[in-house]
């Protein structure tokens, strides 16, 4: 893996918002924050200085939540005024060896499907889903009797086009249709699209979700590093 892509994968939010998805957030100094209606994620250098913390606080506003995303094996050491509200360990998984395969039953989801996408994610909780999350990339779904019952798509895009990585996200299945392999089929279909663009598929999972990690391993993904998705609150104003 190129060193610059490896560095981007360790610190994905600033790379994404300084690069291919810059229209979806704001950057100040070395800190970056997605727009609040797109994603709760923020980022800054892996070894932040006082000015980086100040810049991230300015991007978020006083007393506001932000999920700090970065490689690491423990919660960040916070400066005065910041609060850790939830410590969330994760893993990053590399899908370079995961085979992609288009699926004839998978349909591309668009603006007309947003209400159903929001309903499915609200019921299955695959991760943060906000009003504009669906704008980040390509999302595929499977319908049954006209109803959206499974979905998978793209979130962060790292490195340069054709030599970077795209994160697979929002993998979810209606509880009534679980155990039928729909999520795996959609992930493989999303992989096929990512690989066609020349990107490397990656994804993130909770470090304690052994079932999901095992399933992704069976699909050809490998754990590449420990990650953190820690929910912080910025210092109150005044």
* Alpha-carbon distances, residue 107 vs 110, 138, 153, 206, 234 (angstroms): 10, 11, 11, 27, 40
pLDDT above 70 (res 238): no
The mean pLDDT of 159-187, rounded to a whole number, is 95
- Dist. CA 164–CA 138, nearest whole Å: 16
Matching residue, tokens 């610190």: 11
Q: How many CB atoms lie within 10 A of CB 184?
A: 19
pLDDT above 60 (res 98): yes
Q: How many CB atoms lie within 10 A of CB 3?
A: 7
pLDDT above 80 (res 1): no
Give residues with Cβ within 8 angstroms of 148, minimum separation 6.
Answer: 109, 113, 116, 117, 119, 120, 141, 142, 174
Q: Which two tokens stand for residue 108?
A: 């591309």
Least confident of 25-34, 107-116, 142-151, 159-168: 159-168
Q: What pLDDT, on a 0 to 100 scale, did the predictor assign at position 237? A: 74
Q: What pLDDT, on a 0 to 100 scale, did the predictor assign at position 168? A: 98
Q: How many CB atoms lie within 10 A of CB 127?
A: 18
The mean pLDDT of 92-96, rounded to a whole number, is 98
pLDDT above 80 (res 26): yes
Q: How confident is the model at residue 2 (pLDDT cuts 50, 70, 90)?
A: low
Q: What pLDDT, on a 0 to 100 scale, did the predictor assign at position 180? A: 96
Q: Region of 161 please: left (phi>0), alpha (psi -120 to 50) or beta.
A: beta
User: Tens of pLDDT along 185-224?
Assistant: 999 999 999 999 999 999 999 999 999 999 999 999 999 9
Q: How confident is the model at residue 161 (pLDDT cuts 50, 70, 90)?
A: confident
Q: What is the pTM of this model?
A: 0.95
- Dist. CA 13–CA 110, nearest whole Å: 24
Q: Say what percent of the chain tops pLDDT 90.
A: 96
pLDDT above 60 (res 114): yes
Q: How many CB atoms lie within 10 A of CB 128?
A: 17
Q: How confident is the model at residue 77 (pLDDT cuts 50, 70, 90)?
A: very high
Which DSSP string corresponds to the chain?
--HHHHHHHHSHHHHHHTTTTGGGEEEETTEEEE-TTT-SEEE--SS--HHHHHHHHHHH-TT-EEEEEEE-SS---PPTT-EEEE--EEEEEE-TTSPP---TT-EE--GGGHHHHHHHHHHH--S---TTGGGGS-EEEEEETTEEEEEEEEEEEESSTTSSEEEEEEEEE-GGGTTSSHHHHHHHHHHHHHHHTTPEEEEEEETT-HHHHHHHHHTT-EEEEEEEEEEEEPPPP-
- Dist. CA 73–CA 227, nearest whole Å: 7
pLDDT above 70 (res 37): yes
User: Tens of pLDDT along 175-191?
Assistant: 999 999 999 999 999 99
pLDDT above 80 (res 55): yes
């Amino acid at each position: 893996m190129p060193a610059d892509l490896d560095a981007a994968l360790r610190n994905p939010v600033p790379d994404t918002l300084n690069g291919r998805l810059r229209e979806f957030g704001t950057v100040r100094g070395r800190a970056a924050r997605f727009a609040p209606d797109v994603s709760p994620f923020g980022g800054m250098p892996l070894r932040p200085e006082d000015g980086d913390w100040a810049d991230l606080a300015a991007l978020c506003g006083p007393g506001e939540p932000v999920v700090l995303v970065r490689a690491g094996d423990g919660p960040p050491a916070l400066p005065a005024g910041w609060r850790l509200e939830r410590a969330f360990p994760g893993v990053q998984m590399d899908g370079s060896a995961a085979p992609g395969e288009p699926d004839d039953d998978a349909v591309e989801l668009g603006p007309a499907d947003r209400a159903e996408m929001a309903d499915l994610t609200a019921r299955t909780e695959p991760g943060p889903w906000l009003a504009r999350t669906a704008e980040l990339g390509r999302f595929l779904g499977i319908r049954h009797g006209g109803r959206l019952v499974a979905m998978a798509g793209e979130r962060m895009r790292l490195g340069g086009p054709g030599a970077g990585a795209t994160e697979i996200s929002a993998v979810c299945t209606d509880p009534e249709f679980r155990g039928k392999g729909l999520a795996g089929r959609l992930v493989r279909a999303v992989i096929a699209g990512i690989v066609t663009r020349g990107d490397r598929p990656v994804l993130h999972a909770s470090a304690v979700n052994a079932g999901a990690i095992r399933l992704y391993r069976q699909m050809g993904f490998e754990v590449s590093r420990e990650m953190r998705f820690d929910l912080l609150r910025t210092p109150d104003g005044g």
